Amino acid sequence: MPASFQPDADPTGAELIAARPSIRMHAMDGLLIEDVPLNSIADAVGTPSWVYSATTMRARARNLRTALAETGLDISLHYAMKANDHLAIVRILRAEGLGADAVSGGELDRGLAAGIAPADIVYSGVGKSELELRRALQVDVGQINVESAEELEMLSGIAHDMGCTARIALRVNPDVDAETHAKISTGRARDKFGIPWNDVPALYARAAALPGVDPVGLATHIGSQIMSLAPFRAAYARIARLVTELRGAGHAVRSVDCGGGLGVAYRNEPAPTPTGLAGALRAAFHNLDVQLLLEPGRWLVAPAGVLLCTVVLTKRSAGTRFVVLDAAMNDLVRPAMYDAWHGIVPVSAADAARPAEQADIVGPVCETGDTFARGRALPPLARNARVAILDVGAYGSVMSSTYNARPLAAEVMVDGERWSVIRARQSTEALWQDESVPDFIA
Ligand code: LLP
């Protein structure tokens, strides 16, 4: 944690860059991601563009694996594809030994397309359709996390009908507040997720008696962008107690899926570390002889991506300086949706060196919510200046829409000195290619 962290003060651009190994400022070439100038990418591909650092993703996967390995526990990692499901990213993480956590038929197929073995896929989600469950059974995924009594009965029926057995975990709602944004908190009693922990023993017994399902353990996930270890400890302790209780009732409980949720330091704020999380896991499960699964998403990829943008124009209104970018809430929705704070840094070293003044950084979409930052200290930025919005590798491109008929931005992968477009910028025509105008209208 930076000793100088002040909760109310934003870090400077230089501080943001210094804390992120994937980027650095070059006096002539401007901001680099790994060894590639963002200017070269913008010149070739245009903006807005998502740019990812492969090295950062690998390094973070290794860092997490090492910290977990040091616990001596049996822990497997299942990348939560929802954070960023690009095939290239899933492949990078697969090469680091990770399986996948999928939450829809689409993610399941994407994971398979990226080469993840079905056995390494955990299928989660509060509302899996019958079709999706059939697909999961047909490809024989490693585990299905069941979130309700109704889903349990449905899955048992489908599996029995298909003549197979589903390995299932019951997802427990431990009634723990993850102390994160309300919209991404999932483990409180009132949240839609999981089975109330009091109901778990009876439902586990029911699962053990049903045909077509083999209960192998429990699962939980209390939320995302969790910035202290206390909620993890509280949830894991509750799950560990349930494991003991279920075993006492004669059930085999072989595994516990501990979900994701590890937060990242968007504002250089103090954040929990993989070692801290490993400690919380060890404290709860060290004497239970249970196989653990983790489903990290954000922590692995958020700091590995930037959104490269160009200033369309600047304007002053009622004393506020507005910097209007060519990226908008349709590209990166996190600030509009969760009031999320993302670092914004100039790409040009000369721009970065000028004294900062306050500005609102906004997009061109016709909503006041299309605001990336309010009252942010940034040097003056003129038309055509470029900026990078930081830490957008997770829940960035995957949450994009084409609102305001804005085509999806390009995506680029950087690996050392090499880089490549990994998704072409969508064409405008592609926006309506699947539309038709019926005869009775024409
Ligand atoms: N496992 C389950 C069952 C989940 O629902 C999630 C995230 C994860 C794992 C991965 O959590 P992570 O390690 O990434 O925190 N769009 C929001 C985040 C939504 C998270 C949803 N579930 C955002 O931009 O902050």
User: Is the Cβ–Cβ distance between 348 and 385 less than 8 Å?
Assistant: yes
Pocket test for ligand 1, best of 64, 68, 82 (most atoms within 8 A of CB): 82
Ligand 1 centroid to residue 223 C-alpha, Å: 7
Instruction: Tell me which fold the domain 55-298 belongs to.
Output: TIM Barrel (3.20.20)
- Say if ligand 1 is within 6 A of residue 79 CB: no
- Domain spans of the chain? 13-54+302-431, 55-298
User: 171 CB under 6 A from ligand 1?
Assistant: no
Atom of ligand 1 nearest to the CA of 260: 13
Instruction: Please say whether the beta carbons of 220 and 174 come within 8 A.
Output: yes
Question: How many angstroms separate the alpha carbon of residue 173 from the centre of ligand 1?
Answer: 15
For residue 219, the ligand 1 atom closest to its alpha carbon is 3
Residue 337 alpha carbon to ligand 1 centre in Å: 14
Q: What is the Cβ-side half-sphere exposure of residue 227, based on CA atoms within 13 angstroms?
A: 13
Beta strand ranges found along 303-441 (DSSP E): 305-317, 320-325, 344-346, 357-362, 371-378, 386-389, 410-415, 418-423
Q: Is 295 in the pocket of ligand 1 (CB under 6 A)?
A: yes
If you measure from the C-alpha of residue 374 to the centroid of ligand 1, how many angstroms do you get, rounded to a whole number? 26
Place of tokens 């804005």: 406
Looking from the CA of residue 145, the nearest atom of ligand 1 is: 3
Residue with tokens 């899955």: 155
Q: Which residues of the chain have pLDDT under 50?
A: 1
Ligand 1 binding pocket includes 233 (Cβ within 6 Å): no
Asked whether 274 lines ligand 1 (CB < 6 A), one says no
Q: How many Å apart are CA 437 and CA 441, to the nearest integer?
A: 7
What spacing in Å lies between the alpha carbon of 60 and ligand 1's midpoint?
17
User: Does residue 187's CB lie within 6 angstroms of at least one atom of ligand 1?
Assistant: no
Per-residue model confidence (pLDDT) at position 8 = 74
Greatest alpha-carbon pair distance for the chain in Å reads: 70
28: CA distance to ligand 1 center in Å? 39
Put simply, whether the predicted model's pTM sits higher than 0.95 gets the answer yes
Q: Which atom of ligand 1 is nearest to the CA of 125?
A: 3
Secondary structure, 3-state, 45-84 = HCCCEEEEEHHHHHHHHHHHHHHHHCCCCCEEEEEEHHHC
Residue 193 Cβ inside 6 Å of ligand 1? The answer reads no
Q: Does ligand 1 lie within 6 Å of residue 266's CB atom? A: no
CA distance 395 to 414: 19
- Give the three-state DSSP class for 43: helix
C-alpha 171: how far from its chain's center?
19
Superfamily designation of domain 13-54+302-431: Lyase, Ornithine Decarboxylase; Chain A, domain 1 (2.40.37.10)
Query: Does the CB atom of residue 338 touch ligand 1 within 6 A?
Result: yes
- Is the shortest distance between the CB of 334 and ligand 1 below 6 Å? yes
**Token pair of 273, please?**
């570390």
Over residues 81-110, the pLDDT tens digits come to 999 999 999 999 999 999 999 999 999 999
CA–centroid distance, residue 317 to ligand 1 (Å): 38
394: tokens are 């997770």
So what's the pLDDT on residue 1? 44
100 CA from centroid of ligand 1 (Å):
13
Phi, psi torsion values for 2, nearest 5 degrees: -65, 125
Mutating to test ligand 1, I would choose from 224, 228, 332, 342 the residue with most ligand atoms within 8 A of its C-beta, which is 224
d(CA 138, CA 371): 44
- Residue 272's nearest CA partner among 213, 335, 215, 224 is 224
Q: How far is the first Cα of the chain from the last one, in angstroms, to the nearest whole number?
A: 63
Closest CA to 292 of 12, 28, 123, 76: 76
Which ligand 1 atom lies nearest to the CA of residue 297? 14
For the Cβ of 124 lying below 6 angstroms from any atom of ligand 1, the answer is yes
Tally Cβ neighbours within 10 Å of residue 283.
Answer: 15
Return the amino acid letter for 180.
T
- Ligand 1 atom closest to Cα of residue 181: 25
Q: Which residues are catalytic?
A: 366
